[in-house]
Structure 1
Amino acid sequence: MSGIVCQHKGFIEVKSSEGKGAEFTIYFPVVLLHDLVQKTGSGSRSPHGEVKGRILLADDDARIRCLIASILERDGFHLTSVEDGKEAKKLIIG
């Protein structure tokens, strides 16, 4: 995860409290749609139009899933996203 965040010039903030768990906040710089289209063309595939790979994304926060999905799809990956690890496991095992 941190590799993707760094690649997009973002950063991760972590807050942890004993017995309460951890909170991870991912920040990305604002990108104007006009600038994005100029840099990447259609933005949905790699420069040659091929899919770079397949990714199964599991996160219970729909906002995070949506954000990560949009970044990965823009970078040319085929993405399947689910709400949690149980759903991901079902897809993997069958």
Structure 2
Amino acid sequence: MAWTPATLVVFIGIFSAMGVLTVLEIKRPGGDERQGVLGLTTTRGDRLFISLLGSVYIFLAWLGLFGTPLWIPLGLAIAWGVFCFWKV
């Protein structure tokens, strides 16, 4: 794995999201369970995992089909993350 500034930003983003989820869990324990459009009962951590996993698939599919630049899949991944935390 190449350690580049982009890699650093990805890891900082993931750990920042985990930090935010930790603070939210301390403020409001229980994980904020709800049932979304996929029929799954999810917590905040589950929704983060689903959004990260989906984002990886979006980027891999884009790279396999189109290559670079990666601005469009970045927008798709952000939209997927918003959808996951809003509806899943």
- TM-score bracket for the superposition, by shorter chain length: under 0.3
Greater length-normalized contact order (CA 8 Å, ≥ 6 residues apart) = 2
Between structure 1 and structure 2, the one with the greater Rg is: 1
The structure carrying a bigger strand percent of its residues is 1
Considering fraction of residues, name the structure with more helix.
2
> Structure 1 length normalisation: TM-score?
0.25
**What TM-score, normalized by structure 2, do the two folds share?**
0.26
